[in-house]
A and B are shown apart, each in its own frame.
Chain A
Amino acid sequence: MKDQSGDYTLNIEERNRLVTLSFSGRIDLETMESVNSRLDAFWESSHPAEIAADLSGVKYMDSAGAMLLLQLEEKAKDIGISFQFLHEKEEFKGIMNLLDMEALHIPPLISEGDQKGFFELLGEAAQRGYDDFIRVMTFIGELLTAMMHSLRHPLAVRWAAVFFYMKRVGVDGLPIVSLISLLVGVIIAFMSSLQLKQFGATTYVAALVGFAMVRELGPLMTAIIVAGRSGSAFSAEIGSMMINEEVDALTTMGFDPVRFLAIPKVLASILVVPLLTIYSAFFGIVGGLMVGVLGLDLTVHSFIKQTMESFKVFDVVSSLIKAAVFAMLISGIACQRGFQVRGGAEAVGAATTSAVVAGIFLIVLANSAFAIILYYIH
């Protein structure tokens, strides 16, 4: 192990414009800055005709120290000063011979983060957005083709994988969906009761919670949780497979990666997210019931009756359709982002983040479209 203690000394002797720089101690990474500033001061104050660097007292030199001395030699020779090393040990010569001083002057082959103007950045962002749109559209085309193929050839679907992802998305996600929905139900009931109390209409809390959970919040909350839990997992899984050339391996074995990897995830999501939505609505209503019964003196019977009257079969069916569409959007975009991964671990992280953000954006966008369409249909 290197002795980290110890220091260096640099004696400068000038006689008839011959300067002798006598180094001793350690000339290494530790002492480099200090030696460097001493040498800078020397160059400013002295104008020698000849320099001799005496290394007889140097006990230890590493490559940083060797570089420093070679740069000293280089600088002297550049301005026409004769330079020589005195008492250079063999081991120091060995280190110096390893260094390629030319390397210090070679400019980078690619420049570091060029400063770009506003319009250039705007143009690049627009180009990226356009490219991304094209990629998403292409993937949607591939996904729909693969889905049609799966409908025509159900036996070609990897059902074992579908059931595996149904468990991952559905069963494993049930506890968090239930808990969050229950709490959302509690919050809606509590907050609405504060307003409705002023008009003596607390009995409508049940209807409000039931309607909100079945029509809007059940599908929306479930979809957002699935995007965060499963969308990110799908994207990271496929992204890692891209990096490890597993997707290339599947392709060369004659498998369509979209059919092999994306279809089981998308199908599992479409099948299981509507079920999760039912659970979500149920637990939301249970949360409202808790507030209604414990805080608003409503009976269980009246709360349930009010709730059941608040929505119709159309609302339930449209909610389930919405959930299935959300599921397709979340899993589809997650797989697309996964397939887009190139490079290393950082790209997987970026794809995962992008999958969740794009997933949630698409959910909200689709929900807005549903709100308008369902209004006119109803």
Chain B
Amino acid sequence: MIVVENLTMKFGDDIILQDVSFEVFQGEIFVIVGVSGCGKSTLLKNMIGLYKPTAGRIMIEGIDITADDEVALNRFRRAIGVLFQAGALIGSMSLADNVALPLMGRRSMSPDTVDRIVKMKLGMVNLAGYENHLPLELSGGMKKRAGLARAMAMDPTILFFDEPNTGLDPVTSAELDVTVKAINRGMGTTMVIVSHDLASIMSVAHRVIMLDKSQKGIIAEGDPLDLKENSKDPKVVSFFNRSLEGLKT
């Protein structure tokens, strides 16, 4: 379970997020939505320990990742997986080496076991046979799937995704959504996704929060379909219905 309490994030004098609080439940696909520049990625980077919030606390599975406890933070980092926007594969390494990266340093694991796990993870994202390819030899969608295989190498209990559908064609995007849902269902992995891809949000999200730039925080929370059909907030209605109608007043 993830608990974000009164999170405030400033860059210099610029307040990006103020007093943001929410919870993510175990096994949930939780999507953070909002228009560009509202602080979605900043919030995600706080949640994965890349940024330290100006104020507030983030508890993930009982660990306070905002406390200055490097040992706990390292334990937390080993327990999560992150899929970055462009896959963030190491360009000089083959796909196999990229996926095996999180397994490095496990002396108890033989090269044969690592090899089998790598093949299995690549198979889970439909990239069987691509282990010797370099990232530059792959399409955008394949890079993302390979990034997902790497993020899942250690079977993390929580997976974070930064705009996984950006730059993908609708078919590839839908394929990725299917993979995400299958992993969530099959392994019970909690998933936190930053996205503004409406089709994907509607397809995968169990619950969403919507961030707003002017409010510097959450303006809506709940089931995406419910927010689309029943929200009274013009910004929420505009976002989920992809229209400017609600904003004209």
Measured CB to CB, the residues of A under 8 A from B are 1-2, 28-30, 32-33, 36, 62-64, 67, 71, 91, 94-95, 97-104, 106-112, 342-347
- Across the interface, name the chain A residue whose C-beta is closest to B127: A103
User: Which residues does chain B contribute within 8 Å of A97, judged by CB atoms?
Assistant: 186
Inter-chain CA distance A110–B122, complex, in Å, is 15
* Docked pose: A111 CA to B94 CA in angstroms: 11
Contact A100 B124 (CB under 8 A): yes
Name A64's closest neighbour in chain B (CB-CB).
Answer: B117
Give chain B interface residues in 95-135, CB to chain A under 8 Å.
106, 108-110, 113, 116-117, 119-124, 128-135
B240 within 8 A of A: no
B121, chain A: closest CB distance, angstroms: 8
- Smallest CB-CB separation from B133: which chain A residue? A110
| Residue pair A64, B155 in contact (C-beta under 8 Å) | yes
Q: Flag if B75 contacts A1 (CB, 8 Å).
A: yes
Q: In the complex, are the beta carbons of A104 and B155 less than 8 A apart? A: no
Contact with A along B138-177 (1 / 0, CB 8 A): 0000000000000010110100000000000000000000
CB distance from B33 to the nearest CB of A (A): 27
Q: Are B132 and A111 in contact, CB atoms less than 8 angstroms apart?
A: yes
B30 contacts the other chain (CB 8 A): no
Give every chain A residue within 8 A of B60 (Cβ-Cβ): 1
A112 and B186: CB pair below 8 A?
no
18 A-B pairs, CB-CB below 8 angstroms?
Answer: A1-B61, A1-B62, A1-B75, A1-B76, A28-B155, A33-B108, A64-B120, A71-B116, A98-B187, A101-B123, A102-B128, A103-B119, A103-B123, A104-B120, A106-B128, A108-B129, A109-B132, A347-B91
Measured CB to CB, the closest approach of chain A to B92, in angstroms, equals 4
Q: Do residues B122 and A103 form an inter-chain contact, with CB atoms below 8 A?
A: yes
- A296 to B197 alpha-carbon distance, docked (Å): 78
Known contacts A30-B108, A110-B132, A110-B133; 8 additional CB pairs below 8 A are A1-B61, A33-B108, A63-B155, A95-B187, A104-B119, A106-B119, A344-B91, A347-B91
Taken together as a complex, chains A and B put the C-alpha atoms of A104 and B113 apart, in Å, by: 11
A345 and B92 alpha carbons, distance in the complex (Å)? 8
A1-B75, A94-B187, A98-B183 known; A112 vs B124 contact (CB < 8 Å): no
Is B63's beta carbon under 8 Å from chain A?
A: yes
Are B129 and A107 within 8 A (Cβ)?
yes
Report the Cα distance A91→B108, complex, angstroms: 27
Nearest Cβ in chain A — how far from B202, in angstroms? 23
Given contacts A33-B113, A63-B187, A103-B119, contact A2 B132 (CB under 8 A): no
Is B182 an interface residue when CB atoms closer than 8 A count as contact?
A: yes
B58-73: CB near A (< 8 Å → 1, else 0) gives 0011110000000000
Chain A nearest CB from B118 CB (Å) reads 10
Taking CB atoms, residues of chain B closer than 8 Å to A94 are: 185-188
Which residue of chain A lies nearest to B76 when distances are taken between CB atoms in the complex? A1
Taken residue by residue from 183 to 200, chain B's Cβ proximity to chain A (1 for < 8 Å, 0 otherwise) reads as: 101111000000000000
Bound complex: CA of A99 vs CA of B155, how far in Å?
A: 13
CB pair A67 B120 closer than 8 Å = yes
Which residues of chain A have C-beta atoms less than 8 A from B133's C-beta? 109-110
Which residues between 206 and 230 of chain B lie within 8 Å of chain A, taking CB atoms? none
Shortest CB–CB separation between residue A337 and chain B, in angstroms?
18
Find out whether the CB atom of B79 lies under 8 angstroms from the CB atom of A104. no
Are A346 and B91 within 8 A (Cβ)?
yes
Q: Which residues of A contact B134 (CB under 8 A)?
A: 343
A187 to B66, CA, bound (A): 55
Q: What residue of chain A has the Cβ atom nearest to residue B119's Cβ?
A: A104
Among B109, B110, B124, point to the contact of A98 (Cβ < 8 A).
Answer: B124
Chain A residue numbers with a CB within 8 Å of B79 are: 1-2
Q: Who on chain B is nearest to A109 by CB?
A: B129
Most A CB within 10 A of own CB, among B60, B94, B110, B155: B155
A143 to B227, CA, bound (A): 59
Query: Does residue B136 face the partner (Cβ distance < 8 Å to A)?
Result: yes
Instruction: Tell me which residues across on chain B come within 8 A of A347, comparing CB atoms.
Output: 91
Q: Which 9 A-B residue pairings sit nearest by Cβ, starting from the closest?
A: A103-B123, A344-B91, A103-B128, A1-B61, A62-B155, A94-B186, A346-B92, A100-B123, A98-B186
Which of B63, B91, B113, B122 has a CB less than 8 Å from the CB of A32?
B113
Residues of B within 8 A of A108 (CB): 129-132
Q: CB-nearest residue of chain A relative to B108?
A: A33
Q: Are B113 and A344 in contact (CB under 8 A)?
A: no
Question: Which partner residue on chain A sits nearest B152 by CB separation?
Answer: A63
Chain B residue with minimal CB distance to A70? B120
Contacts of A91 in B (CB 8 A): 188
Q: How far is the CA of A99 from the CA of B94 in the complex (A)?
A: 22
Q: How far is the CA of A63 from the CA of B155 in the complex (A)?
A: 7
Residue of A nearest to B121 (CB): A63
B124, A63: Cβ atoms closer than 8 Å: yes
Q: How far is the CA of A97 from the CA of B183 in the complex (A)?
A: 10
Which residues of chain B are within 8 angstroms of A102 by Cβ–Cβ distance? 123, 128
